[in-house]
Chains A and B, each alone.
Chain A
Amino acid sequence: MNARTLPLLATMVIFLAAYAVCYVQFPAMLSTRVIGNLLTDNAFLGIVAVGMTFVILSGGIDLSVGSVIAFSGVFIAVLLRDTGLHPLVVFAMLLVLTTLFGAAMGAIIHHLEMPPFIVTLAGMFLARGMAYVLSIDSVPITHAFYDQLQGLYYVMPGKGRLTLIGAIMLAVFVAGMLVAHRTRFGTNVYALGGGVQTARLMGVPVQRTTIRIYALSGFLAGLSGIVFSIYTSAGYSLATVGVELDAIAAVVIGGTLLTGGSGFVAGTLIGVLIMGLIQTYIIFDGTLSSWWTKIVIGILLFAFIVLQKGLVWLTSQRGLAMRGGPGGTR
């Protein structure tokens, strides 16, 4: 069995098993309604987790995304309230802004050679601070276009609704998979995660790739902010606190190695769905409390980190065994 795909398989098995358990207890959970809600409720998380997957695959981390989502919501709400701009124009402005923001963090990480953790921490503070500056209060969004967007959905068999934002998330995942596995940029991201030094020696444009990775994460955080504003019809600077942690957790539970170089965008989708499933189960159960979500996610994180560590260890042991032969002289 390929050690790379094992965590992905483990994620799938866990998801299917968990769903089976849910189904046995609450047969209603296997309906397109629940699935539709699962996609809608986790759309913003899924979108931002795709960006996080790229960042983590390259061996980095992006703590700023939760704040950027909140900033995006406030930015949209305030602009729609105070100007006569069409939402689509505002969306375009926002995406340019968050993409540049991400690119700037990538440039700092590359040129100052500082750990992504601390650079994106500054980004996290800055984005949240800017959101506060725009508005401290929750700003409702009332725009005919928003009603239109919210009214867009496709009724699946079984009366489940695939909403626009759920569909956007799925589209982002498909695009993410194509970029990760079918473009040179995607290969370069994996290459950075495999070792920056080696990647540079093999001709990977390290600077360009690093900047693009964080720009992509910034872009997707902005998109996620748009989706979140459609989901909540408001912009609030205190929203989506800690979403970066959920995104990181989804990526790791999705089988991506937190130290970079190995993982799949598709796994992240399952990771997001597992996290959504836990919440859905708790809602269905009614007696369980919400904190179990965090604890279960923590346990899953631990399990996957140890699994990955074990796999890395096994690979190195195998390498050692291979080298252990007699000096190899004749």
Chain B
Amino acid sequence: MTAAKAILRRVAPQLLTLAAVLGLIALVHPGFFDVSIANGRLYGSAIDILNRGAPVALLAIGMTLVIATRGIDLSVGAVMAISGAVAAAAITSGIGLVPTLALALVTGIACGLWNGLLVAVLGIQPIVATLILMVAGRGIAQLITEGAILTFNHKGLIFFGSGAFLGIPMPVLIWLAAGLLVTLVVRRSALGMLIEAIGVNLRASTLAGINARVLLIAVYMTSGLCAALAGVIAAADIKGADANNAGLWLELDAILAVVVGGTSLLGGRFSIIASLIGAMIIQAVNTGILLSGFPPEFNLIIKAAIILVILVLQSPTVRTTLAFFRRDKASAEAKAETVIQ
């Protein structure tokens, strides 16, 4: 089996779901797949899904790695707000685009380092450790913006939110590039396997000589970096840093995207591509409800339903019952999952 085939098999359920959602939307909203070009940029509902889904997609990249280590990062929404605020404050102070971006991203990495140290060095449960920054983070962001929505009109920074390159909106390019880059880094190097190993069995991995502590910190730092990227895009999109609302509850969407992507909350095997498709499924549902004329409030109920379905599918009790009936198939699937590289 080739690598491409293996990946396809792994993400097939997610792809089918996405296709079903998109098909459903196209049924009620015939013009859905129409794409037009204006001002050198693609427009259309389908493009909109890719564009609007950028923050959650970016967060999902880091969250996938964190969840693969059997952790969780609740702080990403707050980190988005912080780095967005840092970017806005930096650009308005006039230090230029490149230092601004560097500053915002370093801020995100620093937040990740903080989480990583709490988890890997102090040994605090991830959900507890990252809760601290989730609570305090928005306060820190407001401290930077001094409570106001810090607006800016630096063309270069705004470009990251609403600009386009070769017709493709920048946010889309950024999450695609980030997803591709992180996937390549973890799968072309040994990181992917080492992360999965510590997620499955931390003690055995340490005994095999894996430096779990450093790896854990690096994973949380990656999550912080992804959150910072998302924060910059969110700020650039509205031309301002809104410390109160930037990235609000997106950590939950990101976790949902990872779970929809089939990565278990119990750690181990992960697939960034599947998480990205998961993020797009969530965004497609959002957009679809808007387009279909349903009140947007149905969105949350649908999300709740999605979680319930996944809960049932992933539940250990249900799994054992199912495995009892189709043992052969289950082992075949397990085999298929191990090939993903």
Contacts and interface: CB of A to CB of B under 8 A. Distances in A.
- Tell me if chains A and B make direct contact, with any CB pair below 8 A: yes
B211 interface: no
B147 A291 contact: yes
A316 B113 CA distance: 27
Contact of B142 (A248, A289, A309): A289
A89 interface: no
Given A122-B307, A125-B303, A305-B124, A133 B297 contact: yes
B136 A245 contact: no
Contacts of B207: none
Given A258-B128, A295-B136, A118 B297 contact: no
Interface stretch (A31-39, A109-117, A218-226, A263-271): A109-117
Interface string B120-164: 001111011101111111111111001100000000000000000
Contact of A295 (B143, B299, B315): B143
Chain B interface helix/strand/loop/mixed: helix
Contact of A132 (B122, B143, B295): B295
A180 interface: no
A220 B63 CA distance: 33
A123 interface: yes
Contact of A126 (B141, B243, B295, B304): B304
A292 interface: yes
B165 interface: no
A292 B140 CA distance: 8
Contacts of A293: 139
A115 B129 CA distance: 17
A301 B139 contact: no
The 7 closest A-B pairs by CB, nearest first: A298-B136, A132-B297, A294-B139, A129-B300, A291-B142, A129-B301, A126-B304
B128 A259 contact: yes
B308 interface: yes
A125 B307 contact: yes
Contacts of A175: none
Interface residues of A, number: 43
A302 interface: yes
Interface in B91-145: 122-125, 127-129, 131-143
B297 A259 contact: no
Interface in B46-63: none
Given A121-B252, A309-B122, A129 B304 contact: yes
Contact of B315 (A112, A130, A294): A112
Interface in A260-298: 289-295, 297-298
Most buried by A among B124, B136, B143, B315: B136
Given A289-B142, A298-B135, 7 more contacts: A117-B72, A118-B265, A123-B304, A129-B299, A245-B131, A258-B131, A292-B143
Nearest to B320: A113
Contacts of A123: 304
A129 B303 CA distance: 9
Contacts of B315: 112-114
Contacts, number: 128
B298 A133 contact: yes
B8 to A, nearest CB: 27
A298 B139 contact: yes
Contact of B300 (A61, A117, A128, A309): A128
Contacts of B318: 112
Chain A interface helix/strand/loop/mixed: helix
B136 A289 contact: no
A294 B135 contact: yes
Nearest to B244: A291
Interface in B289-337: 295-304, 307-308, 311-312, 314-318
A125 B304 contact: yes
A52 interface: no
A108 interface: yes
Contacts of A49: none
B272 to A, nearest CB: 20
B136 A301 contact: yes
Contacts of B295: 132-133, 136
Nearest to A306: B122
Interface string A299-326: 1011001100100000000000000000
Contacts of A129: 297-304
B125 A258 contact: yes
Contacts of A125: 300-301, 303-304, 307
Contacts of B308: 108, 122
B259 interface: yes
Contacts of B311: 108, 112, 114, 118-119, 122
Nearest to B296: A132
Contacts of B133: 298
Contacts of A117: 72, 127
A249 interface: yes
A320 to B, nearest CB: 15
